[in-house]
Amino acid sequence: MKITKLSHVFAVLGVKQAHVVRALATKGLTFSKASLSRLVTQADWPKTCDQEAVKAAITEYLANLGATKEQLTELFNWYEPSSKTQPEIEYEDPEPEMLTANAKQFFKLRRDPFENEIATPEDVFWIDPYRVILEDMLLAATAGSMVALHGECGSGKTIIRRAFIHNIQRDHPEVILIQPARLDRRRVTAESISTAICRALQIKHKPSAEERDAAIEEGLIESANNGHLHLMIIDEAHDLTPDVIKLLKRIWELTHGFRRVMGIVLIGQTELKKKLDGQHVREFTWRCNQIAMQPLGMFVPQYIKHKFERAGLDASKIFTDDAMSAIKGKCYGMIRHGIALDSSQLDRSYPLSVNTWTAKAMNLAAAIGEKKITEQLVLKV
């Protein structure tokens, strides 16, 4: 498959296009997210821009992120990776494991710190990237923009969604949430989306699709006149069809004066990014702010301590400091890019992975009667 070299390097380094646009702006270069998306996916330059200055700024930005000389060579040309250059990932996600009854009894746990543990906003562990995601999603509600949040299974997307909805309902009563209610997200259709809007705005059923669409547009504008904002949230959005994604763009384009009447938030697994990078939905993608869930990284020890604190326990009485660092290390792997490119580190320290490795260590400790979990014990898991 032929792709741009820039697209390949962005994927390898985990570069976010929004960050590149901001970096260009700090150098006085105006380059929109839509223009960068076209450059990355199609090697298509805007008719009016200083190409050499933009090329130099992007190259410098990637070099500062650790891009190799090979990666920066012919950066803005087309690139056709062969099977030999496909990255090899040296990491395998652990099989999910919960605390055993023996471990709970051994460590005198009143409740499992990792099972059904989010009951209040205080139970959520926040790091700066999560707060930024929340702000971007709030912008979708207040400014009528589009956001697509994607991440690995167990990366914390559901918790972010629940926290976001809680904040909206608590602090922004003017926002009307629209959530298509289907157990099978693969069957979210134009009809189910229209039904969800009608339900939220209390629009009476219309006999024909044309009448219903006209009533929806009138209802959204009337609701906006009454001071309301509207936000559609679709979970498991990686299962949406291209036709439904195109429909969402058309709904998003509805305006009341200069103001859009609907914001859209899509939440899905990493397949959502692949779907949005496809040519069939590029008109949606160019206007959508894509956000990737970030791993916990250096905050793994604080995350573990927070989980146990919410369960009424002091984690330092169960784990040594180097044991918590070892759990973080269990979540790291390597990506081999081939002979010509340097290897890079893979960080999979998402909440589910950290929960699983922590439970595995505690189960092993309980089985052998170790009251204190050390680095050596974690490495045996």
Give the C-alpha separation, 248 to 189, whole Å. Answer: 10
Sheet of strand 146-150: strand arrangement: 175-178, 229-234, 263-268, 146-150, 288-292
Angle (CA) 327 332 334, round 5°: 155
Classify residue 373 by burial, with Cβ atoms within 10 Å: 0-12, 13-18, 19+: buried
- 54-63: b (≥16 Cβ within 10 Å) or e: beebbbebbe
Phi and psi at residue 2, in whole multiples of 5°?
Answer: -90, 125
- Tokens, residue 328: 């973080």
Give the C-alpha separation, 378 to 357, whole Å. Answer: 8
pLDDT number for residue 375: 93
Three-state SS at 335: strand
- In single-letter form, the type of residue at position 230 comes to H
Residue 327 gets the label, from left (phi > 0), alpha (psi -120 to 50) or beta, of alpha
- Tokens, residue 233: 């949230």
Tell me which residue has tokens 């869930």: 293
Nearest to 41 by CA among 81, 84, 3: 3
pLDDT number for residue 53: 92
- Tokens, residue 370: 């170790």
Q: First-to-last CA distance in the chain?
A: 39
- Consecutive sets of 10 residues in the chain, 381 residues long: mean pLDDT of each? 80 84 90 89 87 92 84 84 61 85 90 83 89 88 88 90 91 89 63 85 78 85 87 88 86 81 90 85 87 91 94 91 93 72 78 94 94 93 89
Classify residue 92 by burial, with Cβ atoms within 10 Å: 0-12, 13-18, 19+: exposed
Strands 78-79 and 3-4: antiparallel
Nearest to 40 by CA among 16, 64, 70: 16
Nearest to 349 by CA among 79, 156, 179: 156
Nearest to 196 by CA among 161, 233, 142: 233
Give the C-alpha separation, 75 to 97, whole Å. Answer: 43
Q: CB–CB of 80/1 below 8 Å?
A: yes
Give the C-alpha separation, 139 to 99, whole Å. Answer: 39
Q: Enumerate the H helices of the chain as residue ranges.
A: 5-13, 17-26, 33-42, 51-64, 69-72, 101-106, 128-143, 157-171, 190-201, 209-225, 242-252, 270-276, 282-285, 300-310, 321-330, 351-368, 375-380
Q: CB–CB of 349/328 below 8 Å?
A: yes
pLDDT number for residue 81: 59
Report field, pTM of the whole predicted structure over 0.85: no
Query: How far is Cα of residue 209 from the mean position of the Cα atoms in its chain?
Result: 34
